[in-house]
């Protein structure tokens, strides 16, 4: 049966976030002007990103920070990228998406 024309509902995390706020290394794909995180390293472990659920830009004073809500096959995460400092951070972890 085809699901053509039907909307896919975004599954929201059911847990409260664990705030982390730590620098991480991120593998990204630059597709034209777009940045898409593919994986990140945290605590010596590599996390492969299955989906980018949301991307948004925040203004902090005179700077802009990009935020990416991403998920793997087990959890959801919020990564931020500061283009001025070229720095990535893991901000939040939602366990058991």
pLDDT in tens, the chain (97 residues): 444 555 544 455 556 788 889 999 999 998 788 889 999 999 999 999 999 999 999 998 999 999 999 999 899 999 999 999 999 999 999 987 5
pTM more than 0.85: no
Total Cβ atoms within 10 A of residue 37: 21
Residues 6+ apart with CB under 8 A from 72: 47, 48, 49, 50
Is 26 in contact with 37 (CB distance < 8 Å)? yes
Torsion of CA 49, 34, 81, 58, to 10 degrees: -120
Buried residues in 1-22 as b, exposed as e (16+ CB within 10 A) = eeeeeeeeeeeebeeeeeeeee
């Amino acid at each position: 049966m085809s699901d053509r024309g039907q909307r896919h509902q975004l599954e929201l995390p059911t847990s409260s976030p664990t705030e982390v706020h730590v620098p991480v290394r991120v593998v990204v794909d630059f597709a034209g002007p777009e940045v898409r995180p593919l994986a990140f390293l945290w605590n010596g472990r590599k996390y492969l990103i299955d989906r980018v659920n949301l991307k948004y830009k925040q203004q902090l004073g005179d700077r802009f920070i990009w935020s990416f809500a991403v998920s793997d096959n087990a959890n959801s995460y919020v990564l931020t990228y500061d283009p001025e400092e070229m720095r990535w951070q893991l901000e939040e972890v939602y366990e058991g998406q």
